[in-house]
Amino acid sequence: MGAPRPSADSIRPTAVRKVALVTGAARGIGAAITGELHRRGLRVALLDQDDTGAQALAKTLDPDGDSAMALHADVSDPEGTQRAVQAVSSTWNSPDVLVNNAARTAPGSVWDVDLDEWDTLMATNLRSVLVLTRLCAPAMRERGWGRVINVASLAGQQGGLVAGPHFAAAKAGVLVPTKVFAQELAAYGITVNAVAPAAVQTPVMDDLPAEALQRATDRIPVGRFGRPEEVAALV
């Protein structure tokens, strides 16, 4: 009689826990997405310029820090963003899932939006999608699996109810790299999709005038704003 044969379970490679990087994860929709992915068993990296908020949420999700970490970065800064991606990659693994959610909601009209403000907002809300996908996709491609989800907005299709034309233009823009990356990466097991929420009740709404919020609510057929958890479930 030889040595006992290993059981099927003992020879099955230990499943590696997938890593998700969510930008703008400290609050609102990003926080809900992060919570949902963590609940589903992924390790989550919470990238946000609000370090205090991201640290607090990461601690709530996992006080030991084994499955949730905060990364302090501004997505409009490519070098800082690269350092954040390197930090998660060297601690756990390069992200398997990337959620480009961080964005700034800004008011304004086509007549008065400041040109520098236009450029700054584009760097945050649109260019960051390119920067982060370029940083994360090569490792996904090597692994033959990856998921990229970009958070667009109905404002990108209809103009903003409460946000300005630069916000709407950036969100319309997000849909194009989503399609281009999806075509480039599909053959490597990577899907790239966008979700486009309408009005969702998040802290960003607290800064908006009550009458603009009422106008927005009046135009919603179900008569209420969406909830961050509803967007998270979709992602």
Ligand X SMILES: NC(=O)c1ccc[n+]([C@@H]2O[C@H](COP(=O)([O-])OP(=O)(O)OC[C@H]3O[C@@H](n4cnc5c(N)ncnc54)[C@H](O)[C@@H]3O)[C@@H](O)[C@H]2O)c1
Sole binder of ligand X in the list 151, 168, 185, 232 (CB under 6 A): 151
Q: Which of 126, 131, 136, 199 binds ligand X (CB under 6 A)?
A: 199
Beta bridge partners of 98: 21, 148
75 vs 185, which CB is nearer to ligand X? 75
Q: Which residues contact 91 (CB under 8 A, 6 or more apart)?
A: 69
Task: Give the residue, chosen from 34, 124, 133, 178, that forms a contact with ligand X under the rule CB under 6 A.
Answer: 124
Q: Please pick, from the candidates 24, 95, 173, 177, the single residue that binds ligand X as defined by CB under 6 A.
A: 24
> Which amino acid makes up residue 46?
L
The DSSP code for 200 is: B
Question: Contact at 8 Å (CB) between 20 and 8?
Answer: no
Q: Residues 45-74: x/- map of binding to ligand X (CB under 6 A)?
A: ---xxx--x--------------------x
Q: In what order do the strands lie in the sheet with 190-195?
A: 68-72, 43-48, 19-23, 97-100, 146-151, 190-195
Residue 163 DSSP one-character state? S
Q: By CB under 6 A, is residue 130 in contact with ligand X?
A: no
Judged by the rule CB under 6 A, the positions of this chain that interact with ligand X are 23-24, 26-30, 48-50, 53, 74-76, 101-105, 124, 151, 153, 197, 199-200, 202-204
